[in-house]
Amino acid sequence: MTAKAQTVLATTTDGRISAIRGGVVDVVFDGAVPRIHDLLYAGDIALEVAGLIGHGKVRAMAMAPVRGLGLGMTVTATGGPIKVPVGDAVLGRMLDVFGAPIDGRPAPVATEHRAIHQPPPLLSERAPQSKILETGIKAIDLLSPIERGGKTGLFGGAGVGKTVLITELINNTVQHHQGVSLFCGIGERSREAEELYREMGEAGVREKTVMLFGQMNEAPGVRFLVGHTALTMAEYFRDDKGQDVLLLIDNIFRFVQAGSEVSGLLGRMPSRVGYQPTLATELAGLEERITSTKRGAITSIQAVYVPADDFTDPAAAHIFSHLSASVVLSRKRASEGLYPAVDPLASASVMLTPSVVGQRHYDIAREVRRTLAEYEELRDIIAMLGLEELSSADRATVGRARRLERFLTQPFFTTGSFSGVEGKLVPIEDTLSGCETILSQTEFEHPESAYYMIGGLDDLENAS
């Protein structure tokens, strides 16, 4: 179903274009005036009402380049907002903000269509207790556990394994949690979209995944709304089918950026550092829909770009206020071949408390962090004087830290086809037992290399 083919819900008077400013179009109606978020059409170009100016005039943002539009041109109101298909028909598909296919296949035949703008669940409908979503990835489950129904920030530049980690999380959710995954690309490059589509097909997880893209070359209105389209589809699986949904957003900063572009075009006075004055409410309108209810949960992993590494930037600060966990991918660890390249000292989670994960998990995670932090402090001494100059206690600390670093690596299912190593899904209990064993040792039977790319410590004998 194309965007143009959406059902007209009510008959309203046609309007005419009175002004065009970049991607913003002013439309005058002589009769009934459409509401905010209503969908209009000027020829084949879709417009969404963003503001009511008065005297029958509305201001709308264009969902496509405005070439071909002219003053006085007729505009048709559909009588309702953008509606997208929901349900099993969208699984395995690559779609745009209107739910129209961009994978070269026929349009999904869905029995139901829903408006992309929905209120967040009521407090009475939300699940009151916090639960951990077990990912099977040792470094994340141990040091930065993900909240079921929560929001996790994934920080990392190009080439540190962000896409591989996202693909593995999708694989583990689909294969082991009987859920569905939804990938939302906001401001994605077409190269990244094509690679992800192909990789998911090769990994065998595409049929339980929906991919939505508002690409970098598209209008800011499209990039601003594609996140709401993704959440509408995710909410169907959570609320109607009672499934757990993993929602991956890459990149949430580009949602803020698109909102800033739209705000500027609409003529709003910019706020601090040039951002839109409505930054907090726009972000909250999207983020508050991501939650767990009594029927199911939407758990979100969001890639976050931090402008100029300035964590006080208003966009970064507002995004952080919604996150329950942060996973930082380190270029230094990636250069050493330690994949996933999760930085154990920079990653954190509000779930890592004794009341949620238990006292044992909390104590082991703290001890692992303390050991790795001590090793970081000793690195300069080792580089200058050598390992032999350290005391026996420090040498034992270094031995434990180097083995922990390697133990927190693991082979992924999604990389098995080209690495030749079968992927491992490691239960939290095996991760805790392995780290506990390493932390209790002062003499080591196996070399450091034996701990590299294994699952639990049971695999140690085979590795050595």
Check 59, 83, 93, 162 and give the catalytic one. 162
DSSP run (H or E) holding 190: helix 190-203
Q: Is 189 a catalytic residue?
A: yes
Please report the beta strands in 198-238, taking only residues with DSSP state E, as ranges in sequence order. 209-215
Check 48, 134, 168, 188 and give the catalytic one. 188
Q: Is 162 a catalytic residue?
A: yes
Angle between helices 252-265 and 279-287 (to 10 degrees): 140
Query: Are 231 and 290 within 8 A, CB to CB?
Result: yes
| Best CA proximity match to 414, nearest among 206, 127, 241, 148 | 206
Check 189, 294, 360, 366 and give the catalytic one. 189
Query: Are 38 and 80 within 8 A, CB to CB?
Result: yes
- Which residues make beta-bridge pairs with 81? 38
Q: Torsion angle, CA of 228/212/223/120, rounded to 10 degrees?
A: 10
Q: In whole angstroms, how far apart are CA 150 and each of 102, 147, 183, 298, 300?
A: 30, 5, 16, 7, 6
Please report the beta strands in 112-233, taking only residues with DSSP state E, as ranges in sequence order. 112-115, 132-133, 146-147, 151-155, 180-188, 209-215
Q: Is 131 a catalytic residue?
A: no
Query: Are 219 and 64 within 8 A, CB to CB?
Result: yes
Q: In whole angstroms, how far apart are CA 173 and each of 22, 134, 167, 178, 248?
A: 42, 9, 10, 7, 12
Active site amino acids: 162, 188-189
